[in-house]
Structure 1
Amino acid sequence: MLKTYKIEQFQAKEYILYLPSRWKQEKSDFPGTAVLGTKRQAVICKRHPNGRNVIGISSALAKSLNLPVKVTSLSLFMKDDCIYLGVLIGIFTSGFTNFKLSPVGERSYFFRKLLSVQSSLGVIPFVFGEQHIDWENGLVKGYFHFGEGWEIETVPFPNVIYDRLPNRRSEKRKTYKEIKDRLQRQYGIPWYNPGFFNKLDLFERLESDETVNHYLPETHSFQSFEEIERMLSLYKHVYLKPKNGSLGNGIHKLTFDRQSQDYYCRYRDTEGKNRLVRFASLERLMNSVFRNRSLDSFLVQQGISLLNEDSRPIDFRIHTNKDEEGSWHVSAIAGKVAGIGSVTSHANNGGVVKSLAELFPDASKETEVKHSLEEAALKLSHAIECNMEGYIGEIGFDLGIDEDGRVWMFEANSKPGRAIFSHPHLRSFDILTRKLALSFGVFLSRQALQHPEEMMP
């Protein structure tokens, strides 16, 4: 973790920077340039004259660098003759409103919590969208939250950008790609967690990786009724999932009863009700349930007989994050028990979040499950990083454990939801995941300074 220092501004017309008394510098010479984000200013730099262990910055320098007045702590690091004042992290998103209390709509609460960890990390995070960029002057009108309310401050282009676009639709816009390419190529700004994973594309890439392919259930793009018949004959049930779905929407569970020779389909209808329907043939089932939908947009996945609680299947949400050293960590684990009659364990479908201790009262069993899930999540994180483009700093996995103790990966999400953190036993993990999400920005910004040629897209 980077060392952080309190920052104090003082009135002076000169560009002056006082370094903390205990700050260790590698060179005897003081730096001649102060940098915030992509903006730099020649400075008079010296140790704090009063021997205080704080950063002192003159009002003229703060104004020149566009440093927000309410920033209370920063980290420091040097490169060549420059001293970098913290890491300016731009959080890119869309869906801004005209409401001061909720500038990003219902997601404002998430962003406020994300920004709340800034002082402990010595970073300066802010939220912005494409309409807030001033290309001519290299400035951004960013949304900041220092604990009292949302404020707009004009700051330099950031050191690094954390992608938090809300959906695939906003990601497909032509302007998004143009902005991302320009900031990366022209300004050398790393952009992390870009893009939503396509379920089938991800599975196909991981299938060729021998370190993780044993975690993958058989998964194919829909091809024919015969293919579903084949998979139903091998497995007790199969799932039809939208290739680009989220929150469990559109998932159908198909089962074949060998005794009665009937086909069953369990799903959630457009009115939000759980349905279970029966048909004498697969063709009738598919033509009825999917009559208004294109099956080309679905994938077919092997069903797994999972561990259960009171006959309700259990799956697990595992978050992994990279830290300020660029290393993967398991940052949160929770169980999710499916709702009664539900095809998924999502909360909007009656699912219940539980801690591992609640699901496994036997401590040795809890430890065994935790170890299996952590091992799988870390291996999968490394494999996804190797097989997907871009800088990936966080992943949310939906994993399952079958009745034989084998771990399976059902989905991996590049922008995982945070519903599990509503559980009182998981709130500390909520804070940890937010800290790590920004800590990875620190790692990337330092890599871009030390090895710029390796960071170009």
Structure 2
Amino acid sequence: MMSEDLWKILGIPEKTSVHLFQHGDSLHIGPLIGVFTAGFTKDSMRPIGERSMYFAKLMTAARKCGAFAFVFGAHQVDFKDQSIKGLMYNKKGWKQVKVPLPDVVYDRLPNRSSESLEQVASTRHKLQSQYLIPWFNPSFFDKWKVFEKLQEDDAVRHYLPGTILNPKQETLAKMLEEYEQIYIKPANGSLGLGIQQILKPANENYYYCRFRTGKENRLRSYSSLSRLIKQQYPSGKLDGFIVQQGIDLHKINQRPMDYRVHTNKNKDGKWEVSAIAAKIAGEGSLTTHTSSEGTVKTLNELVTDYGFSKDYEKSLSEAALKLSHSLDDKIPGFIGEFGFDLGITKNDEIYLFEANSKPGRSIFGHKRLKAEEMSTRVLPMEYAIHLAKSAIEKALVHHR
């Protein structure tokens, strides 16, 4: 029971069932979850552009879990007033609301360039350091740093393909001799952009380079490796790139495939696997991204339509959980989710190609992954409640 005046003073956004945290004679109503992002538009129907629908679903998931959630950007924080003009979503659509500073923040910045903006970085730093707000999924990963951290861990080292930073031409030649195919990737890249595959079959004299320009998959042949590098990398240097051993992957109709595995922390702050799907490369494509005409299949479809083993689900889940624990131990700050790209060889060995701190959601276009899609929205909200609860209880004890 609460008077209307008190309701307004406390800045409670709307009537809905939420948590009450009690410690002695202190009561905390909430929690208030802020979802931090960038890329706002003037469109009141789609205030965060193409991603508006995803954020709307996230708000709905928060309500289901018994929390208030809102979306905000760095430009909407008023530190003088200690309030935020954020966006909330309900059945009637989006509305702007003035709320107090949140109990916890879920970081969903869309890309590295928004992350490096001065206003974004300083807002994040201030909310974390001065207001001690727990902030999870704080930054994008550098592929090489992730590789180095996992390399130190005996429990997961065997999942790593041979990888070298800033490779020289001699290194590429040596790796091609050993593996016949290699991948060159920007250490800071994402979404498969800038990846090139080089192939040198043992019984051929030519080097082949597979890459993508615009919306087209390309394949070029070269009589020598130095010609290939000169043409594909005009600076002649591969600084800021990593080279990775090519893996002979599972194939369907001659097209290689890998697996996307999502892991999330749950309401108890423990890791669990929330989604697994197979991604099959598009024709002539060097990656399995849906943006390069890749297709998504559920593990069930692989078993029923293509005769794959049911055991893959268990081994992929096991690998993803081990990798989640390992990275969580080594990376500072709170992490609530990962998206792993894993490959399985013909000999059933599992390799990690990439670990994503803010995993894309393209696999959820598949109509049979509805439950998993829902799970990957509900779990971050449950983990946010877990973090907020811990922080609130600490603060209440300290206050008393």
Which of 99, 118, 125 is matched with 1:181 structurally? 125
Mark the CA change 1:240 to 1:186 in structure 2 (over 3 Å): closer, same or farther. Answer: same
1:60 aligns with 2:9: no
1:103 aligns with 2:47: yes
Say if 1:356 and 1:366, in contact at 8 Å, map to a contact too.
no
1:272 aligns with 2:215: yes
Say if 2:247 and 2:345, in contact at 8 Å, map to a contact too.
yes
Pairs within 5 Å for 1:26-41: none
Partner of 2:186: 242
1:166 aligns with 2:110: yes
Partner of 2:69: 125
Secondary structure of 2:304 counterpart: coil
Given residue 380 of structure 1, which amino acid in structure 2 is its aligned partner?
L
In 2: Cα distance, 1:356 partner to 1:438 partner: 26
Pairs within 5 Å for 1:42-121: 57-69=2-14, 71-121=15-65
Shift in Å, 1:362: 8.2
In 2: Cα distance, 1:175 partner to 1:350 partner: 36
In 2: Cα distance, 1:403 partner to 1:259 partner: 21
Pairs within 5 Å for 1:278-293: 278-291=221-234
- Larger CA Rg, structure 1 vs 2: 1
Say if 1:321 and 1:433, in contact at 8 Å, map to a contact too.
yes
Secondary structure of 2:311 counterpart: helix
Say if 2:262 and 2:339, in contact at 8 Å, map to a contact too.
yes
Partner of 1:256: 200
Partner of 1:438: 381
Say if 2:21 and 2:389, in contact at 8 Å, map to a contact too.
no
Which of 354, 368, 371 is matched with 2:311 structurally? 368
1:225 aligns with 2:169: yes
Say if 1:239 and 1:252, in contact at 8 Å, map to a contact too.
yes
In 1: Cα distance, 2:209 partner to 2:307 partner: 37
Which of 378, 397, 420 is matched with 2:321 structurally? 378
Secondary structure of 1:97 counterpart: coil
Given residue 29 of structure 2, which amino acid in structure 1 is its aligned partner?
L
Secondary structure of 1:117 counterpart: helix
In 1: Cα distance, 2:395 partner to 2:290 partner: 43
Tell me which protein shows more helix as a share of its residues.
Answer: 2
Deviations 1:189-210 (A, max 9, x none): 1111010000011101110111
Say if 1:357 and 1:363, in contact at 8 Å, map to a contact too.
no
What's the % identity of the aligned pairs?
44
Partner of 2:359: 416
Given residue 318 of structure 1, which amino acid in structure 2 is its aligned partner?
V
In 2: Cα distance, 1:294 partner to 1:88 partner: 49
Shift in Å, 1:437: 1.1
TM (normalized to structure 2)? Answer: 0.96
In 2: Cα distance, 1:451 partner to 1:293 partner: 55
Secondary structure of 2:131 counterpart: coil
Shift in Å, 1:364: 9.3
In 1: Cα distance, 2:237 partner to 2:102 partner: 43
In 1: Cα distance, 2:306 partner to 2:244 partner: 33
Pairs within 5 Å for 1:352-367: 352-361=295-304, 365-367=308-310
Given residue 262 of structure 2, which amino acid in structure 1 is its aligned partner?
H
Which of 81, 84, 99 is matched with 1:137 structurally? 81
Given residue 163 of structure 2, which amino acid in structure 1 is its aligned partner?
T
Deviations 1:177-228 (A, max 9, x none): 3222211221111111010000011101110111111101011112210001
Mark the CA change 1:100 to 1:368 in structure 2 (over 3 Å): closer, same or farther. Answer: same
Deviations 1:92-136 (A, max 9, x none): 111111111111111111111111112210011100011111111
Secondary structure of 1:324 counterpart: coil
Which of 234, 254, 257 is matched with 1:314 structurally? 257
Q: Count residues in correspondence.
A: 396
Once structures 1 and 2 are overlaid, which stretch shifts more, 339-348 or 166-175?
Answer: 166-175
Partner of 2:150: 206
Which of 242, 248, 257 is matched with 1:299 structurally? 242
CA RMSD after TM alignment: 1.7
Shift in Å, 1:80: 3.0
Partner of 1:13: none
Partner of 1:146: 90
In structure 1, list runs of 5 or more residues that go unmatched: 1-17, 19-56
Given residue 255 of structure 2, which amino acid in structure 1 is its aligned partner?
R
Say if 2:180 and 2:202, in contact at 8 Å, map to a contact too.
no
In 2: Cα distance, 1:200 partner to 1:419 partner: 24
Secondary structure of 2:239 counterpart: helix
Secondary structure of 2:194 counterpart: coil
Say if 1:93 and 1:164, in contact at 8 Å, map to a contact too.
yes
Shift in Å, 1:245: 1.4
Secondary structure of 2:382 counterpart: helix
Say if 2:77 and 2:84, in contact at 8 Å, map to a contact too.
yes
Mark the CA change 1:390 to 1:74 in structure 2 (over 3 Å): closer, same or farther. Answer: same
In 2: Cα distance, 1:402 partner to 1:312 partner: 13
Secondary structure of 1:68 counterpart: coil
Say if 1:357 and 1:366, in contact at 8 Å, map to a contact too.
no
Say if 1:116 and 1:147, in contact at 8 Å, map to a contact too.
no
In 2: Cα distance, 1:130 partner to 1:293 partner: 40
Given residue 230 of structure 1, which amino acid in structure 2 is its aligned partner?
K
Which of 337, 340, 351 is matched with 2:294 structurally? 351
In 2: Cα distance, 1:123 partner to 1:239 partner: 44
TM (normalized to structure 1)? Answer: 0.84
Say if 1:188 and 1:452, in contact at 8 Å, map to a contact too.
no
Deviations 1:1-49 (A, max 9, x none): xxxxxxxxxxxxxxxxx3xxxxxxxxxxxxxxxxxxxxxxxxxxxxxxx
